[in-house]
Amino acid sequence: MKIFYKALAALLLTTALYLPSYAQNSPIREVGSVNNVNISGQKVSLTTDRNNHVEVTVYTPTVVRVRMDKQPLGKDFSYAVVTQPQQTKVNITQNDKEVTIQTDSLQARITKNPFSVAFLTRDGKVINQDEEGLTTSWIGEEVTTYKKMQKGERFIGLGEKTGGLDRRGSGYTNWNTDAYAYTTNQDPLYTTFPFYIGIHNGLNYGIFFDNSYQSDFNFGASNDRFSSFGAQGGEMDYYFFYHTKLADIIGSYTFLTGRMELPPLWSLGYQQNRYSYYPETEVFRIAQTLREKRIPADGITLDIHYMDAYKLFTWDKTRFPDPAAMNKKLKDMGFRTTVIVDPGIKIEEDYGAYERGVKDDVFLKYPDGKYYAGEVWPGWTHFPDFTSEKGREWWKKEIKFFADTNVDGFWNDMNEIATWGQKMPNNVLFNFEGNITTHKEGRNVYGLQMARASYEGARQHMPNKRPFILSRAGYSGSQRYSAIWTGDNRAEDSHMLLGIRLLNSLGVTGVSFSAMDIGGFTGNAPVGLFARWIQLGAFTPYFRNHTGVNTRSAEPWAFGEEVTEIARNFINLRYRLMPYIYSNMYESTQNGQPLMRTLAIDYTHDDKVYNSEFDSQFQFGKAFLIMPFESTKTYGKVYFPRGKWYDLWTGEVKQGNREEMIGVQYNKLPIYVKESSIIPMQSLVQHTGEMPTDTLTIHVYHGDVANSFVYYEDDGESYDYQKGAFYKRTITYDPRRKTITFGDVEGNFKTKFNHVKVMLHGFDAKTRFQYNGKRTDVREDFASFIDPVSRFDPQGTANPQIGYKVRSMVVRNDNGRFTVGY
């Protein structure tokens, strides 16, 4: 009998082990098996035997949305998503085992028992699939989806995240944090961009997890089984993207979450910042010195010391007695003023913004109706609820204060929300567009909504004038309203290189307009570090030199004559490249492609670009290959992707798909130009409001691959381009036909350039050229990208003109099509 009971016990134990987890009174709630399917158009709605609810919707032929919750799905609301499902040809079928959704680009297979989702190519290759046995589950209110890691799978993205380009083996948390002087492996930082791209076996896909609660992503950290994404509350709500090209995934993601508007041209120029420039005489000293030293610049930024006792919507009348006049004088000198705006409103009677905020009842509250107070720069403050229309409307009215004093830019800071103690209570309530929620769901979108309110307020009070908005905190969709900068970095070589990777990763997640503090915010940059950083800064989207309080001066001239010259040379190059930069920013408004590009975008399946030795290399547009190095390096290893690459400085050609050890010079970065590139440049100006000469120079590099470039121009200031006041033409290089073709001009804006000078790089010296089919003469020319302004050392050769011989021709810049043949 004992033997019988022992056998029975063993059988029961074995049976229990193989029962589904939910049958064992598990604390983990699984999705379960599908017991009902409803197909309606492009949407499949399902329920499971665990009473969970699921919707799978085709958004476009390449985008599929998956929603699920433990109760019937709630109101469909998102701060990030701005598009509705597009009418798509979809074939949906089902049998006892699965539901199959098929578009012309992909198929989604929904297994019924238990529920899981797999995404496949049309010919059946697995792109991405749920991890069998785990799929999606809940632990309390926390919801997580588990994905099977494919062999050799890599992961990039998530925006502002430290570490290497490839996220494999790491985990990350999204919880917008005031991360002062963060380390190079610290997480989380200031923003939340819950979008990543998976890469494996010649395939690439994207996943955007649209949930603003604290979220966590695991790409094989502490496990060898799965990648996962989940949040502390809310729905499981994600979008799956599939394209054969990684760039198109970015395009679809930004189609979903929106793209940047064209920034004002001045915001692409050099910006001189400090915490802080005051009083007014110091601001003018900085502006005048920039002009005297012939260092081009377009902007000066004022930090919190411009305010009266750090109270927002005030000016310190002792330091800045007439801000409107000051800003007008700066504008006459070619400078635009940007001011910092923090969300905290000081609790103080007779302080106008506070009194108006209380009157309009716009501040965040506790559940008992009392306003939440936190301590920041001015002392104890209240915070506008930017997740309410009422709060945003109040802020928009207040922005008029700055518009009336000739301010052009608005720097949104401390909007994580940052408060002393860094522990905002979770029972603070956010309106969330009438769907009242807590700090746990509202925090990560607060910075996005503040930037939105600043942008909309500036638009309202600066009619037909593009404002510049910069924000520290953000969420997916922030690119619609603001640039993002990477916060309070350190004056260290490791932070300089980390900053490059942060900006590249932001570019993957839709943020084309981004910045880091050149020279480092905390600490004092050594001379060599500043020299290297300012060179790199010329190839970042928003070019911002900034340092903190109690640091030594960090203007270019503060580091001696040689560094002043190095800074001037690279800032000059930046301004000569303005037609190239502006055209690339226009492209970003059309397809979401970043100006600053990780090599993974164009060389996705090249393993070398993910190597830690090379993963800080990047492209500036598609033409330039930038190779960052620590300031202490005099040589180092670089990687040239496939193709041919021209040394920018010498014209020497390097063959791609190989590593090389190169020397690194103190006064110039290693920069290469991709074969077949088309690069428009202008003459040097001291600010973007200054008119260049009337000749647009087009540099064309000989190559074996076809290429095209969309040249774009408008007034750089207004929204008239939306009414057709733009100038656009496509320039095409065709090595098969041996032609360089300038297409017909689109738009009705009159270009600044009456002539086009075509500079021909790498073409055989014996080549004969034609213009519109008729032979034309070309002349010997000199291609120089650094033309020194001064000879600071009369006994040395530290500042030579750098360049090489090419051939060129000058033609009329007619609006009709014309061709250069060779």
Please state, in angstroms and rounded to a whole number, the distance separating the CA atoms of residues 742 and 46: 54
Calculate the dihedral angle through the C-alpha atoms of 113, 118, 124, 127, rounding to the nearest 10 degrees: -160
Please state, in angstroms and rounded to a whole number, the distance separating the CA atoms of residues 434 and 267: 35
Is residue 102 classed as helix, strand or coil in its secondary structure?
strand
The answer to whether 494 and 210 have CB atoms below 8 angstroms apart is: no
Specify the residue for token string 């003469």: 777
Helices and strands (H and E) in the chain: how many: 12, 54
Distances (CA, A) of 710 to 512, 540, 586, 722: 17, 20, 9, 17
398 noted as active-site residue: no
Q: Is the CA virtual torsion 531, 532, 536, 537 positive or negative?
A: negative
Strand partners, 29: 138
Count the Cβ atoms, other than its own, within 10 Å of residue 612.
10
Specify the residue for token string 């190239």: 580
Locate 819 and state its tokens. 């061709």
Count the Cβ atoms, other than its own, within 10 Å of residue 1.
5
Specify the residue for token string 């540099």: 699
Please give the backbone phi and psi of residue 329, each rounded to the nearest 5 degrees, phi first: -65, -40
Please state, in angstroms and rounded to a whole number, the distance separating the CA atoms of residues 690 and 811: 24
Strand partners, 101: 92, 108
Q: What's the CA angle centered on 505, arms 499 and 509, to 5 degrees?
A: 140
Locate 351 and state its tokens. 């302080």
Characterise 631 by phi-psi region: left (phi > 0), alpha (psi -120 to 50), beta (else).
alpha
The catalytic position among 413, 555, 602, 615 is 413
Locate 677 and state its tokens. 């590139």
The answer to whether 705 and 317 have CB atoms below 8 angstroms apart is: no
User: In 3D, which of 655, 660, 646 has the Cα closest to residue 763?
Assistant: 646
332 noted as active-site residue: no
Please state, in angstroms and rounded to a whole number, the distance separating the CA atoms of residues 18 and 37: 27
Please give the backbone phi and psi of residue 806, each rounded to the nearest 5 degrees, phi first: -140, -175
Please state, in angstroms and rounded to a whole number, the distance separating the CA atoms of residues 345 and 351: 9
Characterise 537 by phi-psi region: left (phi > 0), alpha (psi -120 to 50), beta (else).
alpha
Distances (CA, A) of 377 to 181, 310, 342, 420: 18, 6, 9, 9
Please state, in angstroms and rounded to a whole number, the distance separating the CA atoms of residues 727 and 717: 14
416 noted as active-site residue: yes
The catalytic position among 235, 488, 565, 675 is 488
Find all residues with CB under 8 Å of 655, minimum gap 6, and list them: 640, 644, 645
What letter would DSSP give residue 266? G
User: In 3D, which of 543, 519, 538 has the Cα closest to residue 626?
Assistant: 538
Specify the residue for token string 């009215």: 397
Please state, in angstroms and rounded to a whole number, the distance separating the CA atoms of residues 796 and 188: 48
Amino acid at 144: T
The catalytic position among 248, 416, 492, 493 is 416
Which positions are catalytic?
A: 413, 416, 488
